[in-house]
Amino acid sequence: MPSLHYLHLDVFTDRLFGGNQLAVYLDPPGDLPAETMQAIAREMAFSETTFVFPPGAAHGAAELLDFQVRIFTPASELPMAGHPTIGTAFALADAGRIRPGATRTVFLEGIGPVPLDLEWEEERLSFAWMTQPRPRFGPAVDAVEKFAEATSLRPEDLCPQGWPIEQVSCGVPFVIVPVASRAALDRARSDAGAHTRAFSAAGLPEGPVYLFTLEPGPDGADVYTRMFAPEIGIAEDAATGSAAGPLGAYLVQHGLADPSRTIRNLQGVKMGRPSWLSIQPVLQGPDAAPRSVPREISAMRVGGQAVLAGEGTLVLPE
């Protein structure tokens, strides 16, 4: 019987049994059908599974690309995602497909080329940064009660100090939902039916929500987060790099974070899988500009670590 080998990683963590789980298939056949990849992702039952192929000649930039990476949740294919991108870089490094000491690699994903900057400790990849596209901000969402229902919270738990609910995208759109406290955020639960109604009331296509609070805690995180995406089969995600970029852009845009320093984001605590995501805005404009002249965010960087948890073989039907 034909079979496929995969690596299992825990991503956005430096230790086993934390972070977000990922399965990476490094050697799928080039003609593997999308429906088979989808069935494999459903069988793995992780929030995402990736398949790595040669880059091909897409987007007219083949000379810049190192790998094509296709990303599947149990329910659908994604154009880009954070922990699958970071984790796949670590899987490729572990397998010797990325040369030790290489400072950069570029994946072709559904949104186009995704650059990664790599940091090493001797011959071991120790940290990876993905660069996400320039953030796009939607209008503020005037549906606080509906999003409170969607997350099983009270309206007064949301939008402290008037911070808006807002859709932001760095390749994948997320509705960013500010929450007053960690206690409130820990009480949140996704209600799939109310989730659908909230997006309808907001006039938006149904998508994921990313909840955050700036209330400090003993862990030293700058921001504490949770992500719900029932529309793509993810009740809750332990670490969401594609949401961390939009969140960082939101915080900088609304004056809630210092754009000159790295934002430390803690996610996945309520799932028992604490995940640490580092966020940096890429600012456009002269460094010497007066403080009264804001510098524009031209991209977002999201980084983290990953550890190899195991490997296995999946047997395919004849």
Residue pLDDT, tens place only, 82-107: 999 999 999 999 999 999 999 999 99
pLDDT score of 218 = 97
Q: Is the confidence at residue 61, as pLDDT, over 60? A: no
Is 215 assigned a catalytic role? no
Q: How many residues does the chain have?
A: 318
The residue with greater pLDDT, 60 or 111, is: 111
Among residues 164, 175, 167, the alpha carbon closest in space to that of 226 is found at 175
Q: Is the confidence at residue 292, as pLDDT, over 60? A: no
Q: Which two tokens stand for residue 45?
A: 């039952």
| Alpha helices (H) in the chain, listed in sequence order | 34-44, 82-94, 144-150, 182-187, 192-202, 241-253
- Candidate list 48, 109, 149, 166, residue with the active-site label: 48
Segment 283-292 shows an average pLDDT of: 57
In the chain, what are the domains? 3-133+305-315 (3.10.310.10), 136-297 (3.10.310.10)
Query: 233: pLDDT confidence band, cut at 50, 70 and 90?
Result: confident
**Rounded CA Rg of the chain:** 19
Query: 294: pLDDT confidence band, cut at 50, 70 and 90?
Result: low
Tell me the pTM. Answer: 0.93
CB-based contacts of 98: which residues, under 8 Å, 6+ apart? 66, 89, 92, 105, 118, 125
Segment 115-136 shows an average pLDDT of: 97
| Mean of the per-residue pLDDT values of the chain | 93
pLDDT score of 197 = 97
Segment 15-38 shows an average pLDDT of: 96
